[in-house]
Structure 1
């Protein structure tokens, strides 16, 4: 029996944007459920505050799917900030006085365009917690798959490339790099993970071909 899959939205995104991914996976006979988030449920987490409200929704969805399917574990497919958030979810150390310790429920964590590290001031508290406590592909019994798009090299030559340059610089300190237009390749990978680069993939659906496009899904879904 294959593991059911849980899809977690990225920062300030709602479930609606990710339902097409679940539908595409279903056509490949891969079961997937999207965490039922509304975009505004991220608002209390803005500015580096606790992301516990999102963890609560993730945990509830995982538990319901395990009960419904009878499976012993799920895979988590997480976009953008959802990836490092899921690393907190796996962990066995208190995060704002609660220990989630969900590693026994999870077989694989697939991160799509996740900033696994960042210099952004508003992300330092949460990402610092993640990387101080669970660096790299921390748990040997979890399979980590990190997927990064390579579509835009950051330069100051055009508005799109300037946005990429600024975002990459905020993330790693170096704007002249390749990435998905928001997250540079360097920041999307974890040491010890299966790290996958996909040409032409952008960070979000608004830019065209992204992690949820069929061509990209065909690549990363092989690891589920």
Structure 2
């Protein structure tokens, strides 16, 4: 479960989205820019024979938060089922407080999160009825991404051919870093140690998408430490842009420091790029196809398709939808 941060007023995102695709499988990093002329299917041009997708909500989110994304995917010809989760359901995680492993920082996903896996199972069964013998795609947002990995490990699902994660904190927080407390109480440690490694093969593909919405800043330090906090390279149009530089207002400095403290709890560093909640470096996995999108915010809650697009906003979906299309 990712660190749950309130969404402070953040600078307007850049007007364009940059693709940065890294392949940790070969140890290199390459960046590519997709122009509007690149061949990407539009909703009106897609077939309805694509494999069904199951959306797995992130921590604190509910099913309704993803209804618009499901409609967008449907327009692309991707039948979609959203796991049925309410906000109050997440209070079930409090059962972990009764587990001694919680206090030792060695908590395991089961049985604490069995309620979530039951919802995943129900959604998968529904998607199988739509599949007509084809494979399935899992789309995990935020904590839903690593919960999908646990589900695949614990229950096995040979029908899944794609796991696409959106702003998922895949990596456990580093140990021994001053001021860092593992908010998952060992859950991500378990995922790293016990879940299958990411792969990108014809049979099963992991695609991990990270957002670069704002660069955090250290709590103590000069404003120059994050002079590029809200400046992003322009490549693809998404919405309006408010330019900012080293002379950013004090409020922007405070936002960057506040966001940076959230990043630090996830990856151990404050002055890194991320989507406002999850650092870019934590949202990628070795062995997966790793993609970074500039200007993309973490959550559907507090997002705006024009001024603060999230992973499921129409113009952003357009940049990753091809992974779901046959």
Alignment of 1:94-105 (within 5 A): 99-102=154-157, 104-105=158-159
**1:174-218 superposed Cα distances (whole Å, 9 cap, x missing partner):** 101001011111100001101111110011131421111111100
SS at match of 1:84: helix
What's the counterpart of residue 313 of structure 2?
A: 213
Residue 159 (structure 1) shift: 3.4
Distance in 1 (alpha carbons) for counterparts of 2:50 and 2:83? 19
SS at match of 2:139: strand
**1:146-187 superposed Cα distances (whole Å, 9 cap, x missing partner):** 000001000155332123201110011110100101111110
Structure 2 residue 189 is the aligned partner of structure 1 residue 128: yes
Distance in 2 (alpha carbons) for counterparts of 1:27 and 1:16? 18
CA contact (8 A) 1:161 1:181 kept: no
Could you say which structure has the higher helix fraction?
A: 1
Find the partner of 1:24 among 72, 75, 78: 72
Residues 10-19 or 37-46, more deviating: 37-46
CA contact (8 A) 1:163 1:181 kept: no
Residue 60 (structure 1) shift: 1.1
Find the partner of 1:67 among 95, 108, 129: 129
CA contact (8 A) 2:311 2:317 kept: yes
CA contact (8 A) 2:56 2:141 kept: yes
**TM-score in terms of structure 1 length:** 0.89
Residue 138 (structure 1) shift: 5.4
Residues 202-211 or 139-148, more deviating: 139-148
Residue 4 (structure 1) shift: 0.3
Residues 18-27 or 139-148, more deviating: 139-148
Find the partner of 1:111 among 145, 161, 165: 165
Q: Which has the higher contact order (CA 8 A, sep 6+)?
A: 2
Structure 2 residue 112 is the aligned partner of structure 1 residue 12: no
CA contact (8 A) 1:73 1:105 kept: yes
Task: State how many pairs are aligned.
Answer: 216
CA contact (8 A) 1:4 1:71 kept: no
SS at match of 1:187: helix
**1:36-70 superposed Cα distances (whole Å, 9 cap, x missing partner):** 21111121124666221111100111012202432
What's the counterpart of residue 264 of structure 2?
A: 169
CA contact (8 A) 1:26 1:32 kept: yes
Residues 138-147 or 174-183, more deviating: 138-147
**1:90-142 superposed Cα distances (whole Å, 9 cap, x missing partner):** 11xxxxxxx4122x121100000000013242314221111101254058542
Distance in 2 (alpha carbons) for counterparts of 1:214 and 1:138? 27
Pick the structure with greater CA Rg: 2
Residue 72 (structure 1) shift: 3.8
Distance in 1 (alpha carbons) for counterparts of 2:200 and 2:71? 30
CA contact (8 A) 2:79 2:130 kept: no
Distance in 1 (alpha carbons) for counterparts of 2:295 and 2:261? 19
Structure 2 segments unaligned to the other structure (5+ residues): 1-48, 97-106, 174-180, 224-252
